[in-house]
Every structure is written in C-alpha cells, then in structure tokens.
Amino acid sequence: NVKCVPDAGYFVNVEDISGAHSIQEFYSEVVSIHGSAKNLPTSCTSKLNPALCFFPQYVASHISTPIFVVNSAYDRWQASRVNSKGH
C-alpha cells in the first residue's frame, strides 16, 4: 500500500568529483531562498541542518507515509559527479 512514489533524482550527500559537497550547498540555497525548513519534518530539522533533510538518507526515516522509491541505477548526471572511490 504505497501513497507516495518519488520519481525524481535520489541525491545522496556525498562529495562530487572535485571533493566538494555541491548538492548540499545547492540544497542549502534552496532552503534559504524558499524558506523550505518550515515544510520539512521537524523530527529531522531539530537534529540536522534543514538542508540535510532534503537528502533521502537523512529524512526517509522521518516519513511515516509508505514510499516506493524509483531511481535509475544508472543516473548519468549524478554518476558523473561522484568521486572515483564510488561515494
């Protein structure tokens, strides 16, 4: 019984190929510009920087609605930005 199917990119908080956390920086800007923190689970934002609560690896455990995640194993855009260690 699934009520939510996120079918967009499943971005994880890892270093990109340059060693930077560019997706984390991007999410920080989104939270700041749009005031997104108020719409994220407080159970997550009370423990972590709200930008981190955009990452499924941190927020999924705070969601009670059944979720079925759809994400390509071959995400060309994201794979090109992961460092050579596979992180």
The C-alpha angle with vertex 50 and arms to 45 and 53, in degrees rounded to 5, equals 80
Rounded to an integer, what distance in angstroms lies between the CA atom of residue 38 and that of residue 76? 32
Query: Which H helix or E strand runs over 33?
Result: helix 22-34
**pLDDT, one tens digit for every residue, the chain (87 residues):** 766 666 666 778 888 888 888 889 989 999 999 999 999 999 999 999 999 998 888 988 888 877 777 766 666 666 666 554 444
